Amino acid sequence: MTARTIKLFVALLVCVGLVLPAQAAVAAEPKFTPRSGVTFNNPLGDAPTRNAIFNKITRSIDGSPKGSNIRIFTWNFLTRVGVDALLRAQRRGVQVELLMAKSNTTEIDNRPFRRLKNSLKAGNAHRKKSRYSYAKVCDHSCRGTAGTSHSKFYLFSQVGKAKHVYMQGSANYTVAAATNQWNDLYTHTGQSKLYRFARKVFEEASRDKPVKPPYAVKDFGLSRIMFFPDMGKDVPDPVMSLLNKVSCRGATNTASNRTVLRLAPDVIRNERGMRIAKKLRSLWEKGCDIHIGYTVLGVSIARMLRDQSGRGPVPLKHLVQDANQDGEFDNYFHLKAMSIVGHIGKNRGDYMVLNGSANLSGLARGSDENLAIYHRRSATLKYQSYINYWYDNFPSGGSSKSSPLMFGAGPDYVLEGESASAAQRRPFVNPFAHVDMD
């Protein structure tokens, strides 16, 4: 072996030594225990801030011990890191089950999902059938007959010291969820009945057959856990049901004595979106303090909310970024959340927050979705603070200040804006090309 070869060999060992510990640190998480409560991310922050949700999911996978179960329902699965973590889990004796929307295998070249599916199948060799792992897709909603498989929830039978872990929110298990989107994830630990309720829904979804009734709802203390499809004549819309309880004046826990609503719904479209938007407009006219930060807004809905009559336009802000000014939105708010502080029902000093995977659109009611309403002061104020901060401090350079765009059907997919944007000036550019539209 020549001196030059020895130097190259030593250099290679040094490089390997630098890389392996970082990988091992992620893989070896036997002591990691996820905290309950809400986690937010910020795609514009440093690595820990961007990946706050992504890392929590990955570390929970790596913290799942032999003999435990992992069940993931994500509209899209697109992460090599996630593949590696789930395959490590299977190798150490964890059963892995993952569901995803079929469209994310037909409309994109989803190599991570294919690798996960094939590797899990190969890893089932010499295992009991009851412990087989899998990754599979549903063509439409898994538990219904229409819509799509849009859920984003994560079940772990054990992670570290925590048992019966249920995580749900707006975050898919993708890299984009960390680097291009603002998301939330609410974690429950140690609640066996809640866990079993969500597990039953997952098991139904895994069969990819319609269930009756598809809408599932149950209260667990201060948490109401819900799953769509929300179909049927007598099935209430949980968002409208909550808004119908709101009185705008007489609040005892706000400085103005007005009820405060903060919404980051991502998408408000179609007839359902219009019904909810009209209710919000009515509450605004009655004196409620309302801010709405959106990503996709139907044209007729936007015109109605921005109407100058009465109290004037409902405060809106377009929470998207076109960082490179190519006409396509790069970063955007993906939350589907609403916080309410004030007069709710008979309680003049109440706190409630709704979150989950469901947009304010008609498609959501026919799709697999996870939702929750938390009757908790701390959680509500955290959501309110998060939405307030980004509503007031959304970074310039995007369209949030220069052009509050609305989704339409023209060649640019934009019909209105207070000022011309790059998307409106450049023909055949779809500003929503990188945005989940429903």
d(CA 235, CA 217): 11
What's the average model confidence in pLDDT over 122-151?
A: 96
Residue 378, judged by CB atoms within 10 A of its CB (0-12, 13-18, 19+), counts as exposed
Question: Is 57 in a helix, a strand, or coil?
Answer: helix
- Which has the minimum average pLDDT: 124-128, 192-196, 431-435? 431-435
In sign, the C-alpha dihedral spanning 376, 377, 378, 383 is positive
> What pLDDT was estimated at residue 230?
87
Alpha-carbon gap, residue 407 to 412, rounded angstroms = 9
Closest CA to 417 of 436, 402, 438: 402
Whole-model pTM? 0.88
Question: What is the average pLDDT value for the chain, to the nearest integer?
Answer: 88
Mean pLDDT of 163-176: 98
pLDDT (0 to 100) of residue 24: 36
Report which DSSP code applies to 170: S
Does the pLDDT of residue 192 top 90, yes or no? Answer: yes
Per the model's pLDDT, the better-predicted residue between 304 and 4 turns out to be 304
Do the beta carbons of residue 333 and residue 296 sit within 8 Å? Answer: no
pLDDT tens column, 65-82: 999 999 999 999 999 999
Q: Return the closest-CA partner of residue 86 out of 127, 27, 136, 25.
A: 27
Q: Which residue ranges form the domains of the chain, and what is each CATH number? A: 28-212 (3.30.870.10), 223-425 (3.30.870.10)
Under 8 Å between Cβ of 326 and 405 = no
Give residue-wise pLDDT tens across range 303-333: 999 999 999 999 999 998 887 777 778 899 9
The answer to whether the CB of 342 falls within 8 A of the CB of 259 is yes
